[in-house]
Structure 1
Amino acid sequence: MIVRRNMRRASPLFLVTLVLGFCFATYNLVTIVMHNRSISKWMVDDSNGGIFFDPVIGRPENMSKPKNAKLPFHVALTATDAPYSKWQCRIMYYWYKKQKDLPGSEMGGFTRILHSGSPDNLMDEIPTIIVDPLPAGLDRGYIVLNRPWAFVQWLEKATIEEEYILMAEPDHIFVTPLPNLAHGGYPAAFPFFYIKPAQNEKLLRKFFPEEMGPVTNIDPIGNSPVIIKKDLLEKISPTWMNVSLKMKDDPETDKAFGWVLEMYAYAVASALHGVQHILRKDFMLQPPWDLEIGKKFIIHYTYGCDYNMKGELTYGKLGEWRFDKRSFLRGPPPRNLPLPPSGVPESVVTLVKMVNEATANIPNWDTE
């Protein structure tokens, strides 16, 4: 467990710099956003047509977890109504229900935040709240740009009993009961090897001014998985949304960060608010690179798993045996997927077995 410290509080000079630094959004971006009343309340425009966000706050004081006290967290995942998203959500929710009440778990309620703007056929199966997508054209084909906006809306309109929230994703499977890994004002997050603030200082300085300290104050994380206090997320989310839009509107940043742009935006937004995370490598494993389950809590099956029949990894080349979620973009995988050949790591075998168990027990599995 790693706790990162030494953050600075925002100064008046920083706030002035922040306003000036965020005043160069394009006219078209502002026009699109300001025509949508529900989103415009979270975005501030100045006389130059720029977009920036409310002043940042200092980091809350550290709080230790009372001994033997349970601190439940609400599980929240953003999703669309596409078949690809729906079958992953169904598997994820199945394993949430299996693990929720086991010893060691501090999982509370569950919400699928559906940012397609209208109901789908899973409303009765999975607890769901409907929120609006971004105004047409604003995500520019980058669908996950809707995620921070979805959280902003959900936090505003929902009644959430738990003090903490886990931001999760459809391709997460709870492999063991998950406790609350956060400690008061210190959220818990998984460190991603490909989020490298120090190597991207030139780009990040467009959004994280020098007055806030070194770019190493930006955690190497995304927004998921993260367990965070609800009141902190309420403060960070509008900033996260605005930084995401600003990054997407900057061609150099958009090209450099690509599909992880929104992850960088969450890390920057957290740092701007003086919030740093406890980095937990045991939060999650990612087959095929992580070979064993060990004492980890979540399987994240974002990578394809390709092997020959000798059990040797052939990543980058279609395997004789393979499991890749992208093989099922238009509908759910069939029940009873073949298990991998002998010699394939435990993590991959466990993943396929857990998918098979879920699909065998979820009614009407073939429904899109």
Structure 2
Amino acid sequence: MVVRNNMRHAKSLIMLLMMLGFSIATYNFVSMIIEHSKNGGLVEVESFNGEKVMESAKSSSKYHVALTSNNAVYSQWQCRIMYYWYKKVKDMPGSDMGKFTRILHSGSADHLMNEIPTFVVDPLPDGMDRGYVVLNRPWAFVQWLEKADIEEDYILMAEPDHIFVNPLPNLASRNQPAGYPFFYIKPAKHEKIIRKFYPEETGPVTNIDPIGNSPVIIHKSLMEEIAPTWVNISLRIKDDTEADKAFGWVQEMYAYAVASALHGVKHILRDDFMLQPPWDIHVEKKFIIHYTYACDYNLKGEPTHGKFGEWRFDKRFYLLGPPPKNLSLPPPGVPESVVKLVKMVNEATANIPEWDPSSRS
């Protein structure tokens, strides 16, 4: 009898513990859903630099890959390589890539129209860019957003000198775009100048993210809000002698960061979004190679930064025509990222039809 009573008490205790455990689990699950909803689909994670950031839960929404370009030969060959690698990774597991558009801001068609999906828009009026051709970028996006039929809900703003090194998922959420933090975009360092475009009453300078417009994955509706302001701030910075001098070749990047802050938009900062050889030496699970910097090394594989190396790769060496096929690989000891870059350029040029290194503008 005592045994039976003890068994009944034990069963009751087990049932009570199970019900309590189930209640706690249910509460945690519901709380997670509520918190997820309050944060617009964001969860707290640890970033590469150890800081806590709000990041989107995995989104299955496709994004449209869009890059702006003019019709210069220098831009054309980069666009061809970029599009080649887009097609290679588009349908790989882990990719959320949708369609692709080269937004051509030269005002007329060029010979790549049949090779690369292209939407032609107008450049800024003559003289308005004052020789800073990148000012056409925000204006090109405004025209494209107004006139094009864009199926995807999200947009990846990319550039011709980007190569997709791994399949890229949608890193953004509906209310928060994803961007790459650039070490040289420092709003707080230039607070006096920034306040000309982002007055104190709008909030602290820390509201401005250390980003440019590219690479950024952003919901189309947010992009439609920000883009006109981005144009306006870009032109105002160019017209301001102090800002023009301080921001130099990255002033359009600062303009996007300021425009986003004016609309109350904060970005998820992703260190793994992009790598930039030769400074970033490992590819790992990063998504985009940005080959804007010269890569110079001696034959021992040692860097000669700022000085022509015995081996080098620099996109600016090919201003008047595309690089030849089968570029020489770097000497032993050169970082993985540089070797990967050259191999990917070589694969693209070997497979793109009618790749003609002798062509000149």
TM-score of the two chains, using structure 2 as the length reference = 0.84
Q: Give the distance between the partners of 2:217 and 2:67, measured in 1 at CA.
A: 12
Residues 59, 172 of structure 2: 8 Å contact kept: no
CA separation of 1:67 and 1:345: change in aligned 2, threshold 3 A: closer
Q: Compute the displacement of 1:184 (Å).
A: 1.7
Residues 176, 296 of structure 1: 8 Å contact kept: yes
Q: Compute the displacement of 1:63 (Å).
A: 2.9
2:300 maps to what in 1?
310
Q: 2:201 aligns with which of 211, 222, 225?
A: 211
Q: Give the distance between the partners of 1:136 and 1:62, measured in 2 at CA.
A: 43
Corresponding residue SS for 1:166: strand
Q: 2:165 aligns with which of 152, 172, 175?
A: 175
Q: Compute the displacement of 1:67 (Å).
A: 7.2
Corresponding residue SS for 1:77: strand
Q: 2:237 aligns with which of 236, 239, 247?
A: 247
Q: Give the distance between the partners of 1:332 and 1:306, measured in 2 at CA.
A: 19
Q: 1:159 aligns with which of 138, 149, 156?
A: 149
Corresponding residue SS for 2:174: coil
Matched, 1:357 2:335: no
Q: AA paired with 2:84? A: Y
Output aligned runs, 1:88-237, within 5 Å: 88-237=78-227
Q: AA paired with 2:240? A: D
Output aligned runs, 1:269-280, within 5 Å: 269-280=259-270
Q: 2:333 aligns with which of 326, 340, 343?
A: 343
Q: Deviations over 1:148-199 (max 9, x none)?
A: 0000000000000000000000000000000000022100000000000110
Q: 1:86 aligns with which of 76, 88, 91?
A: 76
Q: Give the distance between the partners of 2:131 and 2:212, measured in 1 at CA.
A: 20
Q: AA paired with 2:75? A: S
1:63 maps to what in 2?
41
Residues 173, 219 of structure 2: 8 Å contact kept: no
Corresponding residue SS for 2:301: coil
Corresponding residue SS for 1:89: helix
1:261 maps to what in 2?
251
Q: Give the distance between the partners of 2:80 and 2:122, measured in 1 at CA.
A: 21
Residues 78, 114 of structure 1: 8 Å contact kept: yes
Q: Compute the displacement of 1:70 (Å).
A: 1.6
Q: Give the distance between the partners of 1:213 and 1:363, measured in 2 at CA.
A: 52
Q: Give the distance between the partners of 1:219 and 1:346, measured in 2 at CA.
A: 30
CA separation of 1:68 and 1:294: change in aligned 2, threshold 3 A: closer
Q: Compute the displacement of 1:68 (Å).
A: 6.8
Q: Compute the displacement of 1:64 (Å).
A: 4.7
Corresponding residue SS for 1:133: coil
Q: 2:278 aligns with which of 285, 288, 291?
A: 288
TM-score of the two chains, using structure 1 as the length reference = 0.82
Q: Give the distance between the partners of 1:68 and 1:218, measured in 2 at CA.
A: 25
Residues 124, 139 of structure 2: 8 Å contact kept: yes
RMSD: 1.4
Corresponding residue SS for 2:260: helix
Q: AA paired with 1:158? A: A
Residues 107, 178 of structure 1: 8 Å contact kept: yes
Residues 64, 184 of structure 1: 8 Å contact kept: no
Q: Give the distance between the partners of 1:204 and 1:313, measured in 2 at CA.
A: 36
1:41 maps to what in 2?
none
Q: Give the distance between the partners of 1:361 and 1:179, measured in 2 at CA.
A: 26
1:331 maps to what in 2?
321
Q: Deviations over 1:204-227 (max 9, x none)?
A: 000001011110100000000000
Q: Compute the displacement of 1:354 (Å).
A: 0.0
Q: AA paired with 1:317? A: K
Q: Give the distance between the partners of 2:61 and 2:209, measured in 1 at CA.
A: 24
